[in-house]
Structure 1
Amino acid sequence: MYCEQPSGFMDTSRPGFVCRLNKSLYGLKQAPRAWYSKFASHLLSLGFQEAKSDTSLFVFHRGADTVYLLLYVDDIVLTASSQQLLRRTIDALQREFAMKDLGKLHHFLGMQVQRSNGGLLLMQHQYILDILERAGMSECNPCSTPVDTSPKLSGVTGDPVKDAIDFHSLASALQYLTFTWLDISYAVQQICLHMHDPREPHLATLKRILRYICGTLHLGLHLRPSTQCDLVVYSDAN
């Protein structure tokens, strides 16, 4: 692979020369874009449609046959309304791309999947342990709620945090955790509102969230089949 001499690093004596890359760059944007374009085009040719709510989700629906395909770079989650349809879809993809069927879903992007007769349990147990270790709170004392209801973060003053980059990293990691830890969504949103100027009270709030998830490692999001199609909403406001 060759590339033009980047701006600021031009060899003035040899301006017409190009650079040879001895090692591929992981962050090279063109390769993932080209892969996604080719893969998406093939899926569309098979009758899939790109979901409007998520460009990584492709849906095939024809009569009673339904297939869902979720794509993340080169990792794929695939499910279908029947085993025969699932097998045909995998075969169609393997004829075009070098792919390996890893069997039933157990782990995907930091999420663990546990199967039972009652449905699926989605957990981020290892992901949480990694966050706690990064924060130096693996042995912290747990608390029963993710946020203190007394103080308010809006308008608080305090010293700036010593390491803003570390604060940003932990807050972003907690955002990904809200996919299965829905009860920390509000608390995480509150600290993310102050990413531009994190203060010590914001760090204390972040650590409280970490203490809460430390005490709730066994929890997860349980998905189960249901004949009820009504949307049920709970609120503590009258």
Structure 2
Amino acid sequence: MVPGSSPNLVINPLVTNGFTKLNTSLMVPLSATKLALLLKDILRLKVLIILRHFLLLRSSLLFIVFLLLLLHAISSYVQNAFLHGDLHEVVYMEPPPGLRRQGESVVCRLKKSLYGLKQASRNWFSTFSDTIQKAGYQQLKADYSLFTKAQGTSFTAVLIYVDDILLTGNDLQEMEGLKAFLLKRLCIKDLGDLKYFLGIEFSRSKKGIFMSQRKYAPDILQDSGLSGARPEKFPMEQNLKLTPTDGALLNDPTKYRRLVGRLIYLTVTRPDIVYSVRTLSQFMHEPQKPHWDAAIRILNYVKGTPGQGLLFSATNNLALRAFCDSDWGGCRATRRSVTGYCVFLGNSLISWKSKKQTNVSRSSAEAEYRAMANTCLELGCDTYWKI
């Protein structure tokens, strides 16, 4: 016990798992660490996970959802995921309270990554990738978080984000074998049939699968203090043109950036607010009062439609259809046009985007052709995802 500590000290379960069961560290004399980095209170740090490349994640989720229409799906959770990552650098840390006897002058030489290390997430994903590829799964180049295995008529797909795993396929025996394989090497917990994944709810019925963020939307309203706001019927006023010099600068731009960031993730299942959120995301560096008012209006619209989402029909002809449109010089600041398109697989919407074009179009026809070119490019990507 550390001098000055309480005799009734209760050791955190993370400590016991990380230092005993997972063989995370090795106790070595303190003199061996004179030139090494000494990490203090490493177990008190928590990693802030920022969702990056959410468009790739959305594509993977939609790919998985179509598998769910015909296949079986389960979700799993990896306990203490980062502690499974192998550490290749020499790193030392002070032992947590309760793991060093009184008078001992020793430190821990880490053998596994811990939460708080910059390389922890990379080491964990490398460990998981190597493990699942040993089971015969291939990593997709379009999205490195998606692994598939096909043998004859058997098909299984695994999607992972940090420590959440989504497993689906048409071969229950293969899925059970994979769970047993991962359980021997990783501490996974079977959460049963897929119902909730990364803030997205999945509801299955005879009509198909409904994907929504019914719980996430009210959380945004509550965090912004607008739970009792008056609902709006549409997210943005018609013909509203915002510019970088519309009005007075906000005193605290961080609240605007936080709100728009959360709305961006809401567009994973809400294509009806994509254009409005894209417009507001252009002013993150210097948001002004009109931009904030427009963001509040989107929240009021979300207040009236909290359960809006996507329905993937169980009866589909699996034919790709796409629709696109464009304005002409819609952006007043740059005079560039805005492209919008949506792609359907049968009757189900699988891809959508609203984006400013890279070049200035000299006519409305040129803007329309650019929109069609971007849509055809997206169709090529969606064809790649088809089974």
User: TM class by shorter-chain length?
Assistant: 0.7 to 0.9
Q: Which has the larger radius of gyration?
A: 2
Question: For 1:62-77, what aligned pairs fall within 5 Å after superposition?
Answer: 62-77=151-166
Match of 1:19 in 2: 38
One-letter amino acid of the counterpart of residue 303, structure 2: C
Match of 1:7 in 2: none
Question: For 1:108-147, what aligned pairs fall within 5 Å after superposition?
Answer: 108-147=197-236
Q: Distance in 2 between matches of 1:205 and 1:145?
A: 11
Say whether the 8 Å CA contact 2:249–2:287 is kept in structure 1. yes
Shift of 1:171: 0.4
Shift of 1:233: 2.5
Question: For 1:18-167, what aligned pairs fall within 5 Å after superposition?
Answer: 18-24=37-43, 25-27=45-47, 28=116, 29-167=118-256
Q: 1:91 to 1:16 in 2, by over 3 A?
A: closer
Question: For 1:172-187, what aligned pairs fall within 5 Å after superposition?
Answer: 172-187=261-276
Partner SS state of residue 284, structure 2: coil
Deviations 1:180-220 (A, max 9, x none): 01111111010001111111111111111111111001222
Q: Which moved more, 1:166-175 or 1:25-34?
A: 25-34
Shift of 1:143: 0.9
Deviations 1:88-120 (A, max 9, x none): 221221122111111001111111111212221
Q: 1:69 to 1:17 in 2, by over 3 A?
A: closer
One-letter amino acid of the counterpart of residue 32, structure 1: S
Q: Distance in 1 between matches of 2:125 and 2:236?
A: 40
One-letter amino acid of the counterpart of residue 46, structure 2: Y
Q: Which moved more, 1:29-38 or 1:17-26?
A: 17-26
Say whether the 8 Å CA contact 2:244–2:286 is kept in structure 1. no
Shift of 1:66: 1.1
Deviations 1:37-72 (A, max 9, x none): 011011112121112222211111222111111111
> Number of residue pairs matched?
227
Shift of 1:15: 7.1
Structure richer in strand, relative to its length:
2
Report the identity percentage.
33
Shift of 1:229: 2.5
Say whether the 8 Å CA contact 2:206–2:314 is kept in structure 1. no
Say whether the 8 Å CA contact 1:156–1:201 is kept in structure 2. no
Shift of 1:157: 1.6
Say whether the 8 Å CA contact 2:231–2:302 is kept in structure 1. yes
Partner SS state of residue 212, structure 1: helix
Unaligned runs of 5+ in 2: 1-24, 27-32, 48-115, 327-367, 369-387
Q: Which moved more, 1:210-219 or 1:155-164?
A: 155-164
Q: 1:16 to 1:212 in 2, by over 3 A?
A: same
One-letter amino acid of the counterpart of residue 19, structure 1: L
Q: Structure 1 residue 207 and structure 2 residue 306: aligned? A: no
Q: Which moved more, 1:87-96 or 1:66-75?
A: 87-96
